[in-house]
Amino acid sequence: LYPLINGVDKTGFKVGSLDQLMELMDLFQKYDMQLDASCKRNEKMYTDMCKELNKKVSLVIEVNTGRRGESQNLEVEQYIKTFKWDSVRFQMDKSLKFLGAKIQGTQKGCDDRLKKLLDEQNEVKGKLNALVKKDSASFLQKDLGDVIYEQKIGRQFFVNSHGSELMTTVLVAVNKKKVEHFQQNYLTILLNHYSNDFENWKKRTRDQIQSQAQLAEDKDHQQQIIDQEFKKQEEEYLKMSTQPGVVPASDKYLGVEDPDGNQLWRVTCMKSQVVDFIKVLKKNGYVGQQFAYDSDLYIENQKLLSKYQVDLNNLNIKIMNCCFYS
């Protein structure tokens, strides 16, 4: 079975009949492919993990010395040249079928342990991704809420701190060259959008209502439902389109500016219109986001972030070691 490896007395293996030998050839080819794929994957993963953890790559194989509880590490080339059958773990008085199954089972056990670690790693990565935000000096790339806590801006500037249920805060990154334009237009950009978008809104809304009314069997009744619902939504839209969605004189510069000259501003917006307002801000070249001040939540998230980073590093070390020893 191992014509290129010295130190193994092949006559000691138990085969059985010729038919059993033919069956073993197919079985061992399958084992060989599985073990080869597993070892190559683990070697690559081990190398990648070493680079990520700034560890030295050490491709050695742990070998049983034959003495109870003792082992040594050999370079791969040295291991091949001096290969000796591990008769402690794989007794030659057992059948080849039994030995093959045990070798394959050993590797499967390693693969299962590795899969469990990788599943845990993916779970921690998912938790980290939910907390990690872009870390950038530019307000155009950064979570603007983080700026509030990093710069220790007081809670008194944010409407949720005063118990409002109808209004919310919108943070806006405004380049200092466009501050005057922003102050002159933030109250009217949503009104202008409603006015310019009214015809498109009617078409979108009627199409949506027609799609939802398809279940009505009576065509006359179906048209009646469409007309009634459209009239109701049109009245609501026309009422909303007369409201700026933003509280007058709520614009305030919060005293911080990024290296590119983008300043952090606050405006107070109606919750019912905040989504439309932020979309219109973006169309007009401003980055905005809804914000509710909660320093306790921010501190808790920072603690969780540190914990998950430590957990991920520990898991990466376990994965590296699992790949090494498998």
Tokens 């390693």 correspond to what residue? Answer: 110
| pLDDT the model gives residue 10 | 67
- Which tens digit of pLDDT belongs to each residue from 267-322? 999 999 999 999 999 999 999 999 999 999 999 999 999 999 999 999 999 999 88
Q: Domains (ranges, CATH) in the chain?
A: 18-132+314-325 (no CATH), 155-187+245-292 (3.30.70.100), 193-243 (no CATH)
Cα–Cα distance measured from residue 222 to residue 218, given in angstroms and rounded to the nearest whole number? 6
pLDDT at position 213 over 80: no
By percentage, how much of the chain surpasses pLDDT 90?
53
Return all residues near 208 (Cβ < 8 A) that are at least 6 apart.
none
Instruction: Please state which of the ranges 20-24, 73-77, 213-217, 253-257 shows the lowest mean pLDDT.
Output: 213-217
Instruction: Determine what percent of the chain falls in helix, strand and coil, rounding each to the nearest 5.
Output: 60, 15, 25
Q: Which residue has the higher pLDDT, 5 or 233?
A: 233
User: 3-class DSSP state for residue 158?
Assistant: coil
Residue that has been written with the tokens 């501003």 in this structure: 265
Q: What's the pLDDT at 2?
A: 42
Checking if the pLDDT of 6 tops 70, the result is no
Nearest alpha carbon to residue 268 among 292, 286, 303: 292
pLDDT at residue 4 greater than cutoff 60? no
pLDDT score, position 278: 96
